[in-house]
Amino acid sequence: MNVRVKDYGAVPDTGKVQTEAIQSAIDCCSQSGGGTVFFEAGIYTTGTIYLRNSVTLNLPPSCVLKGSDNFDDYNAPDAWPQNSVCEPEHANGKHLIVALEVDHVGIVGGGRIDGNGKHFGFSTEKGFFRPSQMVYLCESTYITIRNIELFNSPYWSCFVYGCDNVILSGLRVKNNPEIQNSDGIDIDASSHVIVSDCLIDTQDDCITFRCCRNRLKNKEKILEDIVVTNCQLRTPGCNAFRIGVGTGPIRNCLISNMIIRDSAKAVCLEARYSFNTDDAPGCTIENISFDNLYMDCGCPVFLSSHCRGISNVPAPPIRNIHFSNITGKAKLNFVVQSNENSIVDGIRFSNISMEYDSIPEYIEKYGYGEWDYATSGAPFYIANARNVQVDNVRVNITRPESPFRYAAILHHPAEPELRNFVVKKAGRKLEVNAEAV
């Protein structure tokens, strides 16, 4: 069944809230067996819209679904048990588009979803709140969002939580750089997800893999079988990829054919992401592959048992992480480090060519934290990790005054293999720091 929102009273470009008319069209379409709900060009101001079983929204080019200015037009924070308020990040649990426990739903057509983030703004002051994830997909299956612009989100742009069989393709994510925590795509405790052909430009993490399943009805969900390909990512303030938030396993993910520009970190992978070391025990992370990437970033890879650096705090294992066919420019060093008595095992770098043409801040210490934003004395820093392979890697350091003095600094790695590994500084080959082994 095909329906048009105008037939249910939805009128664009009036500034009046159209939630009731839009929701009526969606509900009628679903109750009649499913189909497509068509919008016409124009701006539709709305509060929370719920997708229903077997319904696809078609937003043509020049059509905008824009979030209302009024909090009362959105869902209550306790409207369903999986929902939550994030007080530290000033997010109030309200959402613009919700797919909750539904099947075979989608959003297509070339139009825009505008979260009205500029109106809500951001402040660290106590008592300030803004809406939460703009597109919220929870414990649903067979979801397709294709050729849609996610714009001006007040918080995370698209949250895939406890879902299965999801395709996100051709998304253009553009957020206000002044809005903190405005992530691009967050995939949490979900499986069989494909993200492809997306352009993401945002203030915080572009793409995250998480496994925070404590609020899901299905507490056994894990993050697995994810493919991300053919995307371009930019985040001056944070990570192109963040992997490792929560308490469940993250595994079997392929990332390929990416361009990462103007990002603080290209890849940030941590087993234990918690500010208080007594918090959640963290995520096992295994079988992740990065292939064919171009990076222009601060830190190319930060792989660590814990976000705070090296300690004796127990952390889940990180295993079988491979980086291959990577070129680009960076400012800070590659970091691969394990907490003492934890496991980081089977990390491989192959066919890497990087250039360093800046002079970063230099801090020499045992272990680095995610927010140090400083480099060691070598472009590769490896500590307490097992079976690390560095094969066919070339690094060119152009500035003779660069703080890099060695090719690699090794602290107690188990059987590292450095093959065809050449680091040159202003034309002079650097050696591995044997004193730290």
pLDDT of residue 15: 93
Q: Is 279 exposed, middle or buried (0-12, 13-18, 19+ CB in 10 A)?
A: exposed
Q: How many domains does the chain have?
A: 1
Contacts of 285 (CB under 8 A, 6+ apart): 243, 244, 249, 250, 251, 269, 271, 316, 317, 318, 319, 321
pLDDT of residue 297: 97
Residue 368, amino acid? Y
Q: Which residue has the tokens 């222009």?
A: 296
CA torsion angle for 295, 265, 435, 362 (degrees, to 10)? 110
pLDDT of residue 275: 58
pLDDT of residue 436: 56
pLDDT of residue 232: 98
Q: Averaged in consecutive runs of 10 residues, what is the pLDDT profile of the chain (437 residues)?
A: 96 97 98 97 98 98 97 97 96 98 98 97 94 98 98 98 98 95 98 98 97 95 98 96 95 98 97 71 96 98 95 93 98 96 96 95 91 92 95 97 94 86 96 70
Task: With beta carbons less than 8 A apart as the criterion, state whether 5 and 27 touch.
Answer: no
pLDDT of residue 271: 96
What single DSSP character describes residue 86? Answer: B
Residue 404 domain boundaries: 2-436
pLDDT of residue 435: 57
Domain containing residue 31: CATH number: 2.160.20.10
